[in-house]
Every structure is written in C-alpha cells, then in structure tokens.
Amino acid sequence: MDKTTAATGAYEARTAKHGIKIIIWSLAWAGSMIFADMAAAYQWFPSEWMTLLSIAANFGTGVGVVLAYMKFLKDQDELQRSIQLNALGLAVGVGLVGGFTYSLLVTTGYIVDEEVTDMILLILGTYMAGVAVGQIRYR
Amino acid sequence: MKNKLKVLRAERDWTQADLANELDVSRQTINAIEKGKFDPSLPLAFKAARLFEMAIEDIFTDVTGQ
C-alpha cells in the first residue's frame, strides 16, 4: 500500500472540512443574532422591514448551520453516525420531557423567570454529553 | 462478532490509520471493530473482504447464539 495515500487521511480531511463549514455558519448565525438583537434594542433601523430583514437573515444563516450539519452527518462513517444518532435521540428526548416539565414548573409558579435559552442549553448540553459518552464508549 | 482484522493488518505491517484510510472510515471505527465493540455493516465488511482478497466469513465470524 502506498504510504503517501495512507498519510492523506481522506476521511479525516473531509470531516475537518465539514467541521470548518459548521463553525463558519455557526459564527454567521450567532453574529446575525447578536446584530438583530442589538439593532432592535438600540433601534438602529429606521423602518420595520429592515428589522424583519435582519431576523430573516438570522433565520437564513440558521438554516445554513442545519444544512452544514446534515451534510456532516451524511459523510460520517457508520460508527460516528451511530454515536451521533444516539446523542441526538437523547437530546430530543431530554428536550421533549424537559420542556414539558419546565412548562409545568412555570405554570405552577416554581419557575418565575422563564427563559427559552434554558431549554436550548439543556438540549445542547445533553447532545454534547451524548457524543462524549459515545466517543469514550468506543475508544 | 469476532474478526481477524488485527492479524491481517499486522501481516501487511499496516497501522489502524492505514487500514482506516483504505476503507475510508475513521481510525476509531477500525479500533472499535478490532476490539469487538462495534460490528461493521455489510458494505464495510465486503469492502474489507475485497481489500484483503478474502471471503467475508474468513475475516468475520458471527458468534451470536453460540
């Protein structure tokens, strides 16, 4: 076997490319969110349609993140796809159950200052923990 | 499932990374298969068989139900 070919690490190179694309889209999404949020807070835009446009841009970059992530998943090998699937399933489950529990806690007054970001962080944290556990399990 | 990947790899003086590159998977996948922690899919098993020019059943042995 040609050692030069082996040194290329085609799979790793593709995974790294996908990772870079996800990071770029994520930064664009975060940046557009910060911009839209600050623009609304400090009333930068003279008209309402510009505010809506900034929100649409944020949504568009968010779609870019999702598509980049889906391409990443499609290109993963079977073990990595299995790890990702388990982590995503866990995150969705925790998000659903946690979301309804959170809603009940808000309704019953145990949580007063409800924040959407709480659920987002819970789902994201669960997903990351799921991936970490999967990677360790198959180490 | 048992397999002879490690032996076949050693016979050719390949690292796990070398084999992973040949099969277009991650090194972690090769490691997991060799340790019996993960069973390869049929396409991947066929790919390995073609690479080593052997029959699938000569590389992979199903031990479930034994």
Task: Choose the closest CB to A138 out of B12, B25, B32.
Answer: B32
pLDDT digit string, tens, across residues A12-68: 999 999 999 999 999 999 999 999 999 989 999 899 899 999 999 999 999 999 999
A138, closest residue in chain B (CA to CA): B32
Measured CA to CA, the distance from residue B29 to residue A23 in angstroms comes to: 24
Give the closest-approach CA distance of A17 to chain B in angstroms. Answer: 15
B29:A80 CB<8 A: yes
A6:B21 CB<8 A: yes
Q: What is the complex's ipTM, to 2 decimals?
A: 0.85
Pairing state of beta strands B2-3 and B60-61? antiparallel
**Domains of chain B by start residue, with CATH:** 2-57 (1.10.260.40)
Break chain A into its structural domains and give their ranges. 1-75, 77-139
Report how many Cβ contacts below 8 Å link chain A to chain B.
Answer: 53
pLDDT digit string, tens, across residues B36-66: 999 999 999 999 999 999 999 999 998 876 5
pTM of the model: 0.81
Contacts by A71-78, CB closer than 8 A, 24 or more apart? A71/A18, A71/A21, A72/A15, A72/A18, A72/A19, A72/A21, A72/A22, A75/A14, A75/A15, A75/A18, A76/A15, A77/A11, A77/B24, A77/B25, A77/B26, A77/B29, A78/B25, A78/B29, A78/B40, A78/B41, A78/B44
